[in-house]
């Protein structure tokens, strides 16, 4: 079962009706400054469709991060099967709109998804990747217990130096 909530957040699958709220996040230049570019409307629609498909195909995907207290969608977090540095990984991704930075939402959501991936999905390894210059994202990975696993030039993101973090299932 997908993670449902944390102390302050609801974590739920995306639906097509979430377009306006998630597009507000993914199209924001400041929020997306570490990505190749903010998302167009078409890219956001495709992104939602891909995540909805991943829920049934892989049992996971990026999910909405919603403040319990206000009902506001502040970003996304979740595990997706993607190629990272030439290897198919269970990639933990998280993006929070800049208006909600420095509140611990990314760490709270990422910790729930990491636990879900290792404990419930029995994934042997979960990784996270981010630009080497994205200190806040690196701190999230470290805070939730992921370990630095190397650096590479990312062809999916302007060939910038990218850090890889990972957490592995403890041996049985």
Closest CA to 80 of 149, 126, 19, 33: 126
In words, the CATH class of domain 9-168 is alpha beta
Q: How confident is the model at residue 89 (pLDDT cuts 50, 70, 90)?
A: very high
Contacts 24+ apart (CB under 8 A), 17-21: 18/48, 18/64, 18/73, 19/44, 19/45, 19/48, 21/64, 21/72, 21/73
The structure's pTM equals 0.93
pLDDT-derived band of residue 170, with 50, 70 and 90 as boundaries?
A: confident
Interhelix angle for 19-26 vs 41-58, to 10°? 110
Interval 17-37: pLDDT, tens = 999 999 999 999 999 999 999
The string of pLDDT tens digits covering residues 52-72 is 999 989 888 999 999 999 999
Q: What HEC string does 90-150 produce?
A: EEEEEEECHHHCCCCHHHHHHHHHHHHHHHHCCCCEEEEEEECCCHHHHHHHHHCCCEEEE
């Amino acid at each position: 079962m997908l993670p449902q909530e944390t102390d302050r957040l609801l974590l739920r699958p995306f639906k097509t009706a979430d377009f306006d709220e998630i597009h507000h996040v993914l199209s924001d230049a400041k929020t997306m400054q570490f990505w190749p570019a903010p998302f167009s409307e078409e890219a956001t629609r495709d992104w939602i469709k891909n995540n909805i498909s991943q829920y049934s195909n892989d049992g996971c995907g990026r999910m909405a991060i919603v403040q319990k207290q206000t009902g506001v969608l502040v970003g996304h977090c979740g595990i997706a099967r993607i190629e990272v540095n030439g290897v198919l990984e269970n990639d933990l991704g998280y993006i929070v709109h800049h208006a909600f930075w420095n509140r611990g939402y990314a760490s709270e959501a990422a910790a729930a998804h990491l636990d879900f991936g290792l404990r419930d999905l029995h994934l042997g390894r979960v990784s996270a990747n981010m630009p080497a210059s994205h200190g806040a994202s690196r701190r999230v990975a470290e805070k939730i217990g992921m370990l630095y696993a190397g650096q590479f030039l990312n062809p999916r993101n302007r060939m910038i130096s990218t850090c890889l973090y990972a957490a592995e299932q403890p041996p049985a």
